[in-house]
Structure 1
Amino acid sequence: MTADGSVEERKPTFLIPSGSSSSKMVLRGQVLELECITEGLPTPEVSWSKLSGEFPDKRTSIVTFQKILRIVNVSDADAGEYRCTAHNRLASIHHTIRVTVKAAPYWITTPRNLVLAPREKGQLICRASGTPKPTINWAMNGIPIENSPEDSNRKVEGDTIIFEEVQTGSSAVYQCNASNEYGYLLSNAFVNVLSETPRVLTPANQVYQVIRNNHALLDCSSFGSPIPKITW
């Protein structure tokens, strides 16, 4: 208070966060909240901006008298530098917050079950993304693949297992584990090596009723391993 009894005006200062810059990490899909609490007289006005782009309109809100910037369902594009500006008629100050977006693993491609005939080829693909990049580990029948019996017809190349000329008796369940420091994913795929003689599944002597001068569709369902070739 001044000598004449009036309240002394004060330039804006930051109470939260302190200093001129800070950093914050948020996980993909979560809610990002940036807080900016100031002090000064007259009461400072607070505004927000993103230095490296625009706010996502449908996912952004500024609440609590402009003190909190909130972005829901965070994506990789939300990373960057955000600036909180506080000003009154005496001065204007800034605080920059560097936001990094990390991500638990999420699937790009999950391995699918395989049905192979002896001496056929095939592959299992297990691809996941995340930040940092997930590590892919394979297991066979619950045992880490590096500890499983060796198979010269099977080759592991990172996120892919390649089968060459599979043999009868090499059926197994394969597990893919994609993990980083923020989480993990598991997926199973069954590789079934079958040797089955072809057989027709469509009932014999089936009668079809068709309209003259129209198309007729005759069905010939079959099963076998390798997949049978159908001729008419």
Structure 2
Amino acid sequence: MLRFVTSSGSLIIENVGSSDEGLYQCAVHVTDKKSFVWTYFSRRAAVRLPSLSRFEIQPEDREVHVGQSVAFACVLDSQPSAHIEWFFNGKRIISGRDDSSLTIFPVTSTLEISSVLPKHEGAYRCVATNEGKTRASRDAQLTIKPENSVGNEFSEPNFILEPRGDVVNEGESVVLECLVNGWPRPDVRWLKGAETISLTGDRMRQLGSSSFMILKAKAEDTGVYTCRASNSQESLDASATVQVKVAPKIISEPNSVVAQETTDVEFYCEASGEPGPSISWYKNGEAIIASEYFVIEATRLRVLGLVRNDQGVYQCIAENDAGSVQSNAQLIVDSSEELLQLYALKFYSMNETTSISEEIMNVNNTDSFSMAASSGQPKLPSEPLGVRASVVGSRFVVLTWDPPVQRHGAVLAYHIFYKEQDSLRERMLNSTATSFTVTPLQPNTTYVFRLVAENEAGMGKSSTRILITTAEEKAVPGKVKNLRGTALSPETVEVSWEPPGGNGPEPVQYKLFYIRKDHEVNEKETQIVVCQIFFFERLDFHIANNM
């Protein structure tokens, strides 16, 4: 075994062995001017060694009457598909050349003799060839029964060949076999589901006496196919399921994004295929594992609280049994400071003969945009004051703060930055008020919070950081069991239940709710008598536990 990569990037494998089997893909690394490496991965390619297994089905000896039908089958697993030839008494059979009653089916290579004659008596063998390997079946003897034996008495249909279920890829061909004996000779028709199939179309063709082939299978060809054989004696069915697999196709690709640190981004990736493809995500060639900050959903990837290290190539790969397909997008992460520099460049790139304040004042000398730049330079707001937690729960925190002293115009938004105490990944939320509920958080976890105000000139100075630890999550009792009610009189109902099971805490009391009106009863026992109800009134009850 020898592997080497050519100057063009191709991989050459010499003297391929079993250890070389598997999936291969190439990685392309692109380094930009800032020495950042962007990595793109190709689709996967499979390497398999040729194989030719033992026969799963071999031809078997047959005894038939003249005029009846017979078939011989050869089935084995091979990679790639083996070429199968048939021999009669040592001579190769060429389908349809010398004898119109002999048919070798495509795909399955089954040999059918639609109407047996004395000349067909003899030995039959199949030979499978694949990449230089050859495997021959045993000989099967076809014997003609004597004329004086029963051959033309009335008999119900008897299947010689029955359709076999098959799973194929879109575009491949499918052969559904069916061969029937009986007297009178049975009439055969095919159904898909409950509908009769016409075998006169472009993609569905009859093979031999009563088999048929689907050319270039499509997804809509998936279904249950039935061969129905009937004569004056009986009607019999033989069915098989065909599944057509369709390789994935991406119908919604992820888009490249330029985003600021601490913000959240989303990549969408939707694919079709049969069976439905699974979607996996990769960043610079490494599989993304779902976490608190990398949220993987059915058709999207959410990256929360961006940091500079999140920058890279994001690829979605859709895979099913029929194949795989991929699409990629770039994520470029800019820091807050870099974005503020962009704000400044926008102001300073104005006409040099006109001051910034003059340019803005021509629009509206009272708006906040003018106030933020009235001195000739953009004025940013000072830091918000008095950042505090007014409510702390196990999974949320209500933050409250006071506006900055120096606003320099209207405050357009407040940006709430937060992260776990030991994390580098900071998230950002926005609010136009001076109070905001941050959720969802983790119980009993310390978070770092800070706030920044933004006016027309941009984002201002950050507030002092504060530490807040969320509360512990309290366990609650489980559901009560076996809630039931019994009418004691036209105006009285007895409601009873069993205490909740499980490992939860013991209930301190029970609350009983019923629907007639907003009414509740607090009770420490596990039963209660409800009075003062209307005659024959229907009541619905449910129980809540209190600690």
With normalisation by structure 2, the TM-score equals: 0.30
Listed as ranges, the matches of 1:142-161 within 5 Å are 142-146=285-289, 152=293, 155-161=295-301
CA contact under 8 A between 2:207 and 2:213: conserved in structure 1?
A: no
Corresponding residue of 1:187? 327
Q: For residue 289 of structure 2, give the secondary structure of its aligned residue in structure 1.
A: helix
Please give the alpha-carbon distance, in whole angstroms, between the structure 2 residues aligned to 1:15 and 1:84: 12
Corresponding residue of 1:213? none
Change beyond 3 A, Cα 1:161–1:24: same
Q: For residue 220 of structure 2, give the secondary structure of its aligned residue in structure 1.
A: helix
Alignment equivalent of 1:138, drawn from 281, 290, 310: 281
CA contact under 8 A between 2:179 and 2:209: conserved in structure 1?
A: no
Alignment equivalent of 1:14, drawn from 159, 180, 199: 159
CA contact under 8 A between 1:52 and 1:81: conserved in structure 2?
A: no
- Structure 2 unaligned residues grouped into runs of 5+: 1-145, 347-547
Alignment equivalent of 2:179, drawn from 22, 37, 49: 37
Residue 34 of structure 1: how far off its partner (Å)? 1.0
Q: Could you say which structure has the greater relative contact order, defined with CA pairs below 8 angstroms and 6 or more residues apart?
A: 1
Please give the alpha-carbon distance, in whole angstroms, between the structure 2 residues aligned to 1:52 and 1:106: 31
Residue 84 of structure 1: how far off its partner (Å)? 1.3
Query: Is 1:176 matched up with 2:316?
Result: yes
Alignment equivalent of 1:71, drawn from 182, 189, 214: 214
Listed as ranges, the matches of 1:1-232 within 5 Å are 8-9=152-153, 11=155, 12-17=157-162, 23-41=165-183, 43-53=185-195, 55=197, 60-88=203-231, 91-112=234-255, 114-119=256-261, 122-146=265-289, 152=293, 155-164=295-304, 166-167=306-307, 170-193=310-333, 197=342
Q: For residue 77 of structure 1, give the secondary structure of its aligned residue in structure 2.
A: helix
AA of the residue aligned to 2:161: I
CA contact under 8 A between 1:60 and 1:69: conserved in structure 2?
A: no
CA contact under 8 A between 1:59 and 1:71: conserved in structure 2?
A: no
Q: For residue 152 of structure 2, give the secondary structure of its aligned residue in structure 1.
A: coil
AA of the residue aligned to 2:160: L
Residue 172 of structure 1: how far off its partner (Å)? 0.4
Change beyond 3 A, Cα 1:53–1:60: farther
Please give the alpha-carbon distance, in whole angstroms, between the structure 2 residues aligned to 1:155 and 1:92: 57
Change beyond 3 A, Cα 1:52–1:59: farther
Please give the alpha-carbon distance, in whole angstroms, between the structure 2 residues aligned to 1:65 and 1:87: 18
Residue 9 of structure 1: how far off its partner (Å)? 4.1
Please give the alpha-carbon distance, in whole angstroms, between the structure 2 residues aligned to 1:28 and 1:146: 32
Residue 142 of structure 1: how far off its partner (Å)? 0.9
Residue 173 of structure 1: how far off its partner (Å)? 0.6
Corresponding residue of 2:17? none
Please give the alpha-carbon distance, in whole angstroms, between the structure 1 residues aligned to 2:316 and 2:150: 72
Q: Deviations over 1:170-221 (max 9, x none)?
A: 420112122233322222222233568478xxxxxxxxxxxxxxxxxxxxxx
Please give the alpha-carbon distance, in whole angstroms, between the structure 2 residues aligned to 1:87 and 1:139: 57
Corresponding residue of 1:204? none
Q: For residue 260 of structure 2, give the secondary structure of its aligned residue in structure 1.
A: coil
Name which one, 1 or 2, has greater alpha-carbon Rg. Answer: 2
Give the RMSD, CA atoms, in angstroms. 3.7
Change beyond 3 A, Cα 1:64–1:180: closer
Residue 126 of structure 1: how far off its partner (Å)? 1.6
Residue 141 of structure 1: how far off its partner (Å)? 0.6
AA of the residue aligned to 2:193: L
Please give the alpha-carbon distance, in whole angstroms, between the structure 2 residues aligned to 1:6 and 1:157: 68
Residue 36 of structure 1: how far off its partner (Å)? 0.9
Please give the alpha-carbon distance, in whole angstroms, between the structure 1 residues aligned to 2:184 and 2:243: 34
Please give the alpha-carbon distance, in whole angstroms, between the structure 2 residues aligned to 1:54 and 1:30: 23
Residue 37 of structure 1: how far off its partner (Å)? 1.7
Change beyond 3 A, Cα 1:55–1:125: farther
AA of the residue aligned to 1:139: Y
Residue 25 of structure 1: how far off its partner (Å)? 2.9
AA of the residue aligned to 1:67: S
Change beyond 3 A, Cα 1:172–1:7: closer
Residue 29 of structure 1: how far off its partner (Å)? 4.1
With normalisation by structure 1, the TM-score equals: 0.62
Residue 38 of structure 1: how far off its partner (Å)? 2.2
Change beyond 3 A, Cα 1:61–1:181: closer
Please give the alpha-carbon distance, in whole angstroms, between the structure 1 residues aligned to 2:185 and 2:201: 30
Please give the alpha-carbon distance, in whole angstroms, between the structure 1 residues aligned to 2:211 and 2:301: 48
Residue 140 of structure 1: how far off its partner (Å)? 0.7
What count of residue pairs does the alignment treat as equivalent?
191
CA contact under 8 A between 1:138 and 1:177: conserved in structure 2?
A: yes
- Structure 1 unaligned residues grouped into runs of 5+: 200-232
